[in-house]
Structure 1
Amino acid sequence: MAARGPLGAAMAAPEPGRCAHFVLRKKRFCKMIPAPGRRFCGEHGHEEEQNDRKRIPCPLDPKHTVYEDQLQKHLKKCNSREKPKPVYFVQDINAGLKDAAEIPEKQVPLSSLSIEELQNLITRLKKATNGLELHLKEQILSHQALQEALSDPKNGESAFKHLKQQASILGNMEKLHLLGPGKCFVEFGAGRGKLSHWLDIALENVESVQFLLVERATTRFKVDGKHKRRDSIFERLQVDIQHLCLNKVPILEKKKLPVVGIGKHLCGAATDLALRCLVESYTTCCDGKDEEPAPKRCRAVQTEVAPHKSAGNESITEDHKPVAGIVIALCCHHKCDWTHYVGREFFKSVGLGPVEFHYFQRMSSWATCGMQETTSKASTSEDSGDQTNDTEEHEHTLSRTASGSDTLQGILSVEERKEIGCLCKRLIDHGRIEYLQQRGYKAALQYYTEPAVSLENVLLTAVPSPSVIPEPTI
């Protein structure tokens, strides 16, 4: 009988027809299949006594090896090779700030500030938020498409929290009349694609629906395969939002479909990139050709770039509205970036700049982790599993952010820090609202779920405003 290792794996010999290399880290034999007449697979072929061929680390990814005499052939098909860019890839089209002089230098940590400097920041924060709408409306809704899943006792607490959020997002979309035919729904930071999955179920009797799932990373356990039985079209775009030009996505370029941008817990700067992708790059020509003169500015617009056509002209004079709506659940304000932030003009209008933005985005984390002992509770109540990994990014960063704020113990109470963190979030979000309003959208913030379900419980919505009057051309 073969001896068994600590995990119960056979130690004496590999399974028949499998590689003879023993993987110490996994305490089992390699499961790859060797070539006929060989004891070891290609990866471990250097252990074959009669094998005189040399294996070397792959220059593209040293984590795996390749036969030296087959290197050139391998480089052409290696999974780590640089792949051709898709047609909708346009370098930094949604990046925002391009003037290097405005990009802030590295700031000292928040914990290094003196008491006077911190108090001065808080004073400026309160002054900037004075007069803003800080008490958001509760818009906790649901949708029939998720009622069966919400009633299923097989779903655990974590899955139930996801479902409640997805149901409320769909409910808010329904209230904004965005669940109609002939639209393309673009899910940013799609991860496994669960939000699009439920949206597809909600639209099961609606014709001519297209889904684009934008995710920069390769994602496991995707739910896309569940949609092949229906006529709705699902397409994944593996690209960073920063480089995504929706105008060049073939289905949109061909059909000119009105787009609805959606996202569930779109971390930090990704929200700003998505907003710019929707209201700027999708509604302007991004192929470098000047097919027509740039549209005139609306009187209300005082921002760094001209508004898109739908904000001032096209959406008023034509039935076609390039962006029919935006519904994004916000999170991770501490991951925002001044370079990408769409509300820079608003910050400047209230006497703030990149330095203050840096500290306010760090202080925003106090809203969800005001004290060290609450960090674990915050993590468990946050969203997990719908992004690229099984745990969302803000769960990994809360503990580090919270520990940084521990140096402020004795200066501010937990409740004071939580209040300041909320002010920072509202200030950053108000810049986004103004950005959308100045481009012809009726934008709003609302609580879409209870804090017990997710501490990141604010939903940004926007639809084209019918009241925008374009400036007359001369």
Structure 2
Amino acid sequence: MAEKLAASVSPQLERCAYFVERKRRFCKMVPARGKRFCGEHGALEEENNRKRIQCPLDSKHTVYEDQLQKHLRKCNSREKPKPVYFARDINAGLKEATGLPEEKQVPIFALSKEELEDLIRKLRKASNDIKSVLKDQTCSHQALQEALNDPKNGDAAFKHLKQQASILGNMERLNLLGPRRCFVEFGAGRGKLSHWVDIALQDAKDVHFLLVERATTRFKVDGKHRKNGFERLQVDIQHLCLNKVPVLVKEKLPAVGIGKHVCGSATDLALRCLVETYANLSDDDRRGGPEAKRLKIERTSRIPTNSPSETCSDSVAENWSPVAGIVIALCCHHRCDWKHYVGREFFTTVGLGVTEFNYFKRMTSWATCGMRERSPLTSTIETESEEHEPHDRSVECSSDSLQGLLTTEERKQIGRLCKLLLDHGRIEYLQQRGYDAVLQYYTDLDVSLENVLLTAVPHQSSLSHSDS
């Protein structure tokens, strides 16, 4: 069929003569003068005896064998020099905290009724002392009012704007929108959240933005700004050392960690990046003075939880902290990883370990997906297609195996409890390191099923200094 189609059409003038069967058209690349085929398809050139081979760095393209060494020096897939702020696995956590081996990862639908009931019993026991009803902190911000009232925005854009407005509203409530800040957006994507923060700050001075995103991103909006400094850090959060980012080294600015739907273990990596890597700077590193006092962190006793809005203004005004605050919208708990998870100590304290973590993280999908039968014999999980990556197959679960044991509503409640347990481990981690950390709802479920926001500001007592 493809040969008949190729015979019925001809390549465009001064274009490659190779017919691309998958696209049902000729290649549109321009060949060299006097050649019928482009460099990619040059092996088909009748008068050309040179052999083309796959590039060893990327099998998606080919190269002349006699030019391989020259090509490897300039190939776009070659390993590029690491930036100064790259420090391998600096935020990865303990190396010995390995996850559950794949051969021991039994699917949930393969569990017996007794095993599943035992898991749920452990979940409820570990969650007994956790406040399961979160406070509603749905906010808005005037910086987005014009966009929110724009009738040209569709439903999807409107939902994103409402979430961004609430995140900014919560940042304002915690007194985090102000001058002399470096806003670090984790999982920045196009940079829309930083865009609105920049607009909200208006004429604030000494404001910088670091947009952390490991993937290349199209249609970025941060490049349109000229008033404040926007810098993209194309690096995995796992390897990001904020202490070595030039603007932070030079300006000595407190950081505000922000993020809209920071998926799974990326949240844990971001928290460790802020409160362990950056916050543990010595005074000498921060102020250029002699080595002296460090932050006093009360690890032995539980820090009382006061209202963040009450403590933030005092802590920012009277004391300097390397991390002024953290505001991250959480999501995709099924993508968490035990070796990166910051709440391992909490899990151990309540009698849980890597096995329970492995099941609970997959059961979190019950909160946002639900299950419905497609046919009498098969079933699937419905996923929310907002801005998260599709759920892994590891979270799928046969409804037949749960039939008669759990209703759909009970599965949702258990899923929400699993998410709460994982997030509470993060709260405990932050509190032990001197932060007033809180979970709250920041938007309605009809806007996003992932509607929990984590906020943290330095606890006032943790800013007191003692001789080291």
**TM-score bracket relative to the smaller structure:** 0.7 to 0.9
Contact 1:370 1:402 in 2 (8 A): no
In the TM superposition, residue 13 of structure 1 has moved relative to its aligned partner by: 2.4
Q: Partners in 1 of 2:155 and 2:48 — Cα distance?
A: 55
2:55 paired with 1:61: no
Q: 1:421-460, aligned counterparts within 5 Å? A: 421-460=415-454
The match for 1:192 is 190
Counterpart amino acid of residue 266 in structure 2: A
Contact 2:294 2:465 in 1 (8 A): no
Residues 171-217 of structure 1: CA deviation (Å, up to 9, x unaligned): 11111111111111111111111111222222232222111111111
The match for 1:284 is 280
Q: Partners in 1 of 2:406 and 2:381 — Cα distance?
A: 21
Q: 1:276-315, aligned counterparts within 5 Å? A: 276-284=272-280, 297-300=297-300
Q: Partners in 1 of 2:265 and 2:143 — Cα distance?
A: 31
Residues 75-123 of structure 1: CA deviation (Å, up to 9, x unaligned): 00101111111111111111112225x6443432222221111111111
2:91 paired with 1:94: yes
3-state DSSP class of the match of 1:154?
coil
2:334 paired with 1:334: yes
Q: Partners in 1 of 2:302 and 2:235 — Cα distance?
A: 31
Q: Partners in 2 of 1:409 and 1:199 — Cα distance?
A: 47
Aligned with 1:131 (options 125, 129, 132): 129
3-state DSSP class of the match of 2:446?
coil
Counterpart amino acid of residue 424 in structure 1: C
- Normalising by structure 2, we get a TM-score of 0.87
3-state DSSP class of the match of 1:460?
strand
When residues 420 and 326 of structure 1 are mapped into structure 2, their CA distance, relative to the original with a 3 A threshold, is: same
Counterpart amino acid of residue 455 in structure 2: T
The match for 2:354 is 354
Contact 1:342 1:431 in 2 (8 A): yes
The match for 1:14 is 11
- Normalising by structure 1, we get a TM-score of 0.86
Q: CA RMSD in A?
A: 2.9
Q: Partners in 1 of 2:230 and 2:454 — Cα distance?
A: 24
Contact 2:370 2:382 in 1 (8 A): no
Contact 2:99 2:337 in 1 (8 A): no
2:31 paired with 1:28: no
Counterpart amino acid of residue 247 in structure 1: N
The match for 2:461 is 467
Contact 2:211 2:233 in 1 (8 A): yes
Q: Partners in 2 of 1:53 and 1:90 — Cα distance?
A: 43
Q: Partners in 1 of 2:380 and 2:171 — Cα distance?
A: 32
In the TM superposition, residue 224 of structure 1 has moved relative to its aligned partner by: 2.5
Q: 1:79-158, aligned counterparts within 5 Å? A: 79-99=76-96, 103-105=99-101, 106-158=104-156
Counterpart amino acid of residue 369 in structure 1: C
- Bigger drift between 236-245 and 190-199 goes to 190-199
In the TM superposition, residue 285 of structure 1 has moved relative to its aligned partner by: 5.0
Unaligned runs of 5+ in 2: 304-314
Contact 1:366 1:402 in 2 (8 A): no
Unaligned runs of 5+ in 1: 304-314, 385-391
Q: Partners in 2 of 1:458 and 1:449 — Cα distance?
A: 8
3-state DSSP class of the match of 2:391?
helix
In the TM superposition, residue 452 of structure 1 has moved relative to its aligned partner by: 0.6
Contact 1:139 1:446 in 2 (8 A): yes
Contact 1:379 1:398 in 2 (8 A): no
Contact 2:299 2:432 in 1 (8 A): no
In the TM superposition, residue 164 of structure 1 has moved relative to its aligned partner by: 0.9
2:54 paired with 1:51: no
Runs of 4+ residues deviating >4 angstroms: 289-297, 315-318, 373-378, 469-474
3-state DSSP class of the match of 1:262?
strand
Aligned with 1:265 (options 261, 264, 267): 261
Counterpart amino acid of residue 412 in structure 2: K
Counterpart amino acid of residue 164 in structure 2: Q
In the TM superposition, residue 17 of structure 1 has moved relative to its aligned partner by: 2.3
When residues 284 and 404 of structure 1 are mapped into structure 2, their CA distance, relative to the original with a 3 A threshold, is: farther
When residues 237 and 175 of structure 1 are mapped into structure 2, their CA distance, relative to the original with a 3 A threshold, is: same
Residues 267-319 of structure 1: CA deviation (Å, up to 9, x unaligned): 11110010000000112359xx996797665253699xxxxxxxxxxx79984
Q: Partners in 1 of 2:452 and 2:460 — Cα distance?
A: 25
Count of residues paired in the alignment: 444
